[in-house]
Amino acid sequence: MPALTHWYLPPAGLRHHAGPDHPESPQRLAAIRESLAGRRLIEDVAEADDAALLRVHQPAHLVRIARLRGREAPLALDPDTQGNGDSYAAARLAAGCAVDAVGRVQAEGGLAFCAVRPPGHHAEPGRAMGFCFYNNVAIAAAQALASGRERVAILDFDVHYGNGTSLAFADDPRVLVCQTYQDPFYPFWRSLDRAHIVDVALPHGSDGTAMRHAVQTHWAPALEAHAPQLILVSAGFDAHRLDPLAGLQWETEDYAWLGRWIGHQAQRHCEGGCVATLEGGYEPEALAASVLAFCEGFHEANEDSDVDPRV
């Protein structure tokens, strides 16, 4: 029987404007919303409180982000990252969706997909960067640990390396962090030497075959050894061949494959529960199609499935 999909898409995400002609635009969520016509969306969610944010971020970071509150004019937090009062509210709600999704999946099962802006995986404990204010997936992982989970896994298939996520859990082996990413590319990260952080760099021009090999060869044994009680996903779709910001050559079907593979792992390790938070993806139509393909692929997996890397 297909698992539930809990679709989070708070309207505040459409009001965050990162700047004129900025690729991280409201059109991203508008395209996803249009593709979800007729489906129930979870829109009324509480903002993340300071306690949830402080599990990942330093107090000074919250103070810096709070400078956006009530502002009409934009304020730059780094060369790529700016916002105003609407951005402040959207960032708090994005993190709040991640927190709420953890509780919902733990109680009801299924897949929670948080279609939120701004994204999060570049946000380090002490600074905003790379379009990201708070690290949504890291906040979700910290919430899961605080609510009693002993081991969680974060899977990140964004084209950019999630530096903030790896920094947040560099010294916490309860959290397995697995990433694929284009290299060399922003943020030009140098991998940490940690057994629980599994980084797979892919060269410019790599297609979905290279991704599937990386997942099967590197992610799969790490997940098997870690046996996570909850899987979290930094769901970036900017490795798509139509994306304007990067140079990988994945197809929409590659995201369906990832959904099936992750769905199988969720069934195997954590009763099918999974929380995904939106990261990159800057060609709106390709983004919306890939999000749907990922979620539909997730639900094709079941306990008896044997995901073939050639599929």
Q: Which of the residues are catalytic?
A: 122
| Phi, psi for residue 249 in degrees, rounded to 5 | -125, 45
| Phi, psi for residue 210 in degrees, rounded to 5 | -65, -40
Cβ atoms of 280 and 158 within 8 Å: the answer is: yes
| Phi, psi for residue 75 in degrees, rounded to 5 | -125, 130
CA angle 245, 28, 252 (to 5 degrees): 65
Q: Is the dihedral of CA 177, 182, 184, 188 positive or negative?
A: negative
Q: Is 281 left (phi over 0), alpha (psi -120 to 50) or beta?
A: left
CA neighbor of 46 nearest in space, from 85, 5, 86, 10: 10
Determine the length of the chain: 311
**CA dist 126 → 57, 60, 154, 180 (Å):** 6, 7, 20, 24
CA neighbor of 258 nearest in space, from 227, 292, 304: 292
Going through 135-263 in order, the beta strands assigned E by DSSP cover 152-156, 175-182, 197-202, 230-235
| Residue 127, helix vs strand vs coil | strand
State both tokens at 134. 């708070």
